[in-house]
C-alpha cells in the first residue's frame, strides 16, 4: 500500500478520481439527466462535492497519523486545490443559473442573504489558500505566516457547514447537514485533541527541564 502511494502513477490516478464528479456533471447536463430543474441540481451538486472534498482533505492528516502512512501527505495539496475547484464551480453555477451573471444582483444577494455571505467568505479564504499553495508562496510569506493562513481551512469548514445549514433551514431539512457536520466535527475534534496533547507534552518537557536546572543549581 505504502509503495503504491509513492508510485509515479498515484498522483495522476488521484487527480482523475477527483475530476470524476465534474465529468459526471458535464455528462449529466448534456444527457439531460439532472432532473426537472437542472440549474438547481448543478448548484446543489457542486456545493455537495465541495463539502465532500473538504472532508477528504481534512481527513488526510488523521488517517496519515493513525495508519502511520506518511506517503498520504503528498496528495494533500492536490486535494486542497480540488476543494477550491468545486467551490469555484459552485459559485459559477449560482452566478450563471441563478443570477445570469448580473453583478449588481449578485452583490445585493450576498448582502441580503447571510448564507450566501458566509459561503462567499469561505470561497475567498479558499482562493487565498489556493494561490499560496506552492513552494514559492511559502518562501514569500514565511513559514509561520503561511501556516497561519492555511490553518484557516478550519474556519472554512465552519463557514461551509453554516452556509449549508442556513440554506437547508428554509426547507426544514437538516439530515445531510447533520451528516457533514458530524464528520467535520470529528475531524476538527481530532485536531484539537492533537493540539492539546502537543501542548501538554511541551509543558511537561518544559517542567522537566526547569526541575533539572533547579537540581543542577542546588548542587
- H or E stretch at 23: helix 10-30
Q: What is the pLDDT of residue 13?
A: 95
Q: Please state, in angstroms and rounded to a whole number, the distance separating the CA atoms of residues 62 and 186.
A: 10
Q: What is the pLDDT of residue 217?
A: 55
Distance from the Cα of residue 194 to its chain's centroid: 19
Distance from the Cα of residue 51 to its chain's centroid: 7
What are the two backbone dihedrals, phi and then psi, of residue 35, each rounded to the nearest 5 degrees?
Answer: 90, -165
Please give the grid coordinates belonging to residue 131.
494561490
Q: What is the pLDDT of residue 209?
A: 60
Q: What is the pLDDT of residue 208?
A: 61
Q: What is the pLDDT of residue 215?
A: 57
Q: What is the pLDDT of residue 100?
A: 92
- What SS3 class is residue 142? coil
| CA dihedral of residues 106, 102, 84, 149 (deg, nearest 10) | -50
Q: What is the pLDDT of residue 203?
A: 77
Phi-psi region at 102: left, alpha or beta (left = phi > 0; alpha = psi -120 to 50): beta
Per-residue model confidence as pLDDT tens for the chain (219 residues): 677 888 889 999 999 999 999 999 999 999 999 988 999 999 999 999 999 999 999 999 999 999 999 999 999 999 999 999 999 999 999 999 989 999 999 999 999 999 999 999 999 999 999 999 998 998 899 999 999 999 999 999 999 999 999 988 777 778 899 999 999 999 999 999 998 988 888 877 766 665 555 555 555
- Is residue 116 within 8 A of residue 91, CB to CB? The reply is no
Give just the sign of the alpha carbon dihedral 71, 74, 78, 84: positive
Q: Where are the domains of the chain?
A: 2-177
What are the two backbone dihedrals, phi and then psi, of residue 152, each rounded to the nearest 5 degrees?
Answer: -70, -5
Amino acid at each position: 500500500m505504502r509503495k503504491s502511494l509513492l508510485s509515479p502513477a498515484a498522483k495522476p490516478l488521484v487527480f482523475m478520481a477527483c475530476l470524476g464528479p465534474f465529468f459526471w456533471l458535464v455528462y449529466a447536463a448534456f444527457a439531460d439527466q439532472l432532473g426537472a430543474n437542472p440549474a438547481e441540481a448543478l448548484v446543489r451538486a457542486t456545493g455537495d462535492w465541495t463539502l465532500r472534498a473538504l472532508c477528504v482533505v481534512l481527513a488526510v492528516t488523521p488517517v496519515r497519523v493513525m495508519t502511520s502512512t506518511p506517503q498520504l501527505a503528498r496528495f494533500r495539496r492536490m486535494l486542497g486545490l480540488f476543494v477550491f475547484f468545486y467551490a469555484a464551480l459552485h459559485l459559477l453555477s449560482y452566478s450563471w443559473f441563478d443570477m445570469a451573471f448580473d453583478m449588481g444582483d449578485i452583490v445585493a444577494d450576498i448582502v441580503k442573504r447571510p448564507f450566501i455571505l458566509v459561503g462567499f467568505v469561505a470561497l475567498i479564504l479558499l482562493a487565498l489558500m489556493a494561490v499560496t499553495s506552492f513552494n514559492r508562496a511559502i518562501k514569500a510569506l514565511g513559514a509561520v505566516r503561511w501556516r497561519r493562513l492555511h490553518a484557516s481551512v478550519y474556519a472554512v469548514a465552519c463557514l461551509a457547514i453554516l452556509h449549508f445549514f442556513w440554506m437547508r433551514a428554509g426547507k426544514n431539512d437538516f439530515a445531510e447537514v447533520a451528516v457533514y457536520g458530524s464528520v467535520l466535527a470529528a475531524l476538527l475534534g481530532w485536531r484539537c485533541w492533537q493540539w492539546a496533547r502537543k501542548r501538554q507534552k511541551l509543558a511537561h518537557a518544559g517542567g522537566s527541564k526547569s526541575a533539572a536546572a533547579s537540581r543542577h543549581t542546588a548542587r
